[in-house]
Amino acid sequence: MAEENPDGVVIGLEIHVQLNKLNSKMFCACSTDYHNSEPNSNTCPVCLGLPGSLPVINEKAVESAMKVGLALNCDIVEQTQFHRKNYFYPDLPKGFQITQYDYPIANDGKIVIESDEGEHVVRIKRAHMEEDPGRMMHIGNIEKSKGTLIDYNRSGMALLEIVTEPDIRSPKESRRFLDKLRNIIEYLEVFDSNLEGAMRVDANISLQGGSRTEVKNISSHKGAERALLYEIMRQKNIMRRGGEVTMETRHFDEEKGCTVGLRSKEAEHDYRYFPEPDLTPLRVADRVPKVTKTLPELPDAKRERFLSQYGMTEMHAKALTSDIRVSEFFEEVAKEVDPKTSASWVADVLKGELNYRELTVDAFKVEDMISIIQMVTQDKITEKSAVEVIRQILDYGGKPDEIVRENGLLKVEEDVVSKAVTETIQENEQAVNDYFAGKEKSLNYLVGQVMKKTRGRADAKEVRELLVDKLNK
């Protein structure tokens, strides 16, 4: 490992997953649908921490946490208990957070990710339940804020904090782990990753011979990779100059792409944990069989099924199962169109166009994808025209058949292509001579001229074959 990780990078992650598909918060009846609400309007005495208010455990939240633990290959404890984590912060109205300490609901799990050297196991140390604090909005930036606004709508949302062992060795591995984790949890349908605050990351990192720093509240997987890359560079520079890396908590500035020191790192005793007196211990082991039955087919199992059932490539199987919505979209298309063909169009073409526009597969209709693939397989339009139809739908909307008709994308007749090929050969004597002189690029040029004559409605592969046949004759 020394050659692969010369700086001795050690990374551990703490991922806060918001169980935002529940109907109510962790300890009160307030709705979880707060994202479009007026600030501080989706609250009650419990989530505002008012004196005399008492928490009540959300049963569905407990079962959702157990689902995640089981999906991550964790052991579910016999009995769990909530604690008070005491610290003062403006977004924490009670002055403490209800969380789990000695008895997390799940522990000792693992996730297998793909690394540059092959499969790599990242161990899950624990997964524990807690409540989300409110949301702080700084006027300006966190370093030079003119003031801070607080919205308590998020306060009390059910969170599951997933803590890894320090098994990650690079920022790239961190991003792959986060991608895999999000994929698994999305399959469980306990959270919507597109909502604000759905998944936040605290990253702990150290280099060989240095102290550990923690980068707090990173809001994206790409941001986590960038923050860790910056921290490696920063810590290496300090150590290269003979300095000492300070154990501290830092903030990642997304705009500047750098981390900023916030405070010295707290130790466990600083939080003065003690059992939550308003909540009794909770026995959960008896619920494991019931919760296990609700587990869906998970990404790795679905990938193996796609390989065996549809005979697709490993690359397509990975691409199609990396998002539950894409896998469901594909299977609907594959009911009407050849699965291998469907896999290629959905995984290679549609996903590429969606990613370019930062859209999800929900932006495209299954019936439109079926219609487009059928037009290609029935030889009505070329593959190039099909891609153009997909782009038109994503950018401007419309129906496939209307776009084909209005833009003249129907495939031209064979005799029209043959005529265009003959004319191109007659009109481009120099390119023809270059072809016979062994210059391959000349053939590409001739194909391009035929495509121009047919306004892109001919099949480029067929045009190439026809050109070679006529030239050789």
CA distance 155 to 213: 27
Sequence-distant (≥ 6) Cβ neighbours of residue 74 within 8 angstroms: 106, 107, 108, 109, 124, 127
User: How many residues are recorded in the chain?
Assistant: 473
pLDDT, tens digit, 9 for 90 and up, residues 262-279:
877 666 677 899 999 999
What's the burial of 385, exposed, middle or buried (CB within 10 Å: 0-12/13-18/19+)?
buried
Residue 1 confidence (pLDDT) = 38
Give the start-to-end residue ranges of the domains of the chain.
Answer: 10-291, 297-406, 414-471
Show the tokens assigned to 148.
């801070």
Eight-state DSSP code of residue 28: S
Q: What was the pLDDT predicted at 133?
A: 94
DSSP for residue 24 = B
Give dist(CA 113, CA 116) in Å, integer.
10
Neighbouring-strand partners of residue 161: 16, 128
Q: How far is CA 356 from the centre of its chain?
A: 15
Coil, strand or helix at 106: strand
Strand blocks (E) in 93-194: 96-99, 106-115, 118-131, 135-139, 147-151, 158-164
Provide the 3-class DSSP secondary structure of residue 279.
Answer: coil
Calpha distance 400→212 (Å, rounded): 55
| The pLDDT of residue 164 | 98
d(CA 344, CA 402): 24
Backbone φ, ψ for residue 167 (5° rounding): -100, -5
Model pTM score: 0.83
Helix (H) or strand (E) holding 442: helix 440-453
What is the Cα–Cα distance from 161 to 15, expressed in whole angstroms? 5
**Model pLDDT, residue 460:** 75
Residue 400: predicted pLDDT: 95
Give the up-direction half-sphere exposure of residue 384: CA atoms within 13 A in the CB hemisphere: 13
- Alpha-carbon span 264 to 248, nearest angstrom: 4
Angle, nearest 10°, between helix axes 414-427 and 440-453? 130
Of 109, 117, 296, 266, give the one whose Cα is nearest residue 190. 296
Q: Rounded distance, CA 37 to CA 41, Å?
A: 7
What pLDDT, on a 0 to 100 scale, did the predictor assign at position 3? 44
CA angle 322, 328, 334 (to 5 degrees): 110
Residues of the chain with pLDDT under 70: 1-3, 142-143, 265-268, 412-417, 419, 473
Look at residues 345, 335, 421, 340 and name the one whose alpha carbon lies nearest to residue 383.
345
CA–CA separation, 198 vs 17, rounded Å?
6
Tell me which architecture the domain covering 414-471 has in CATH: Orthogonal Bundle (1.10)
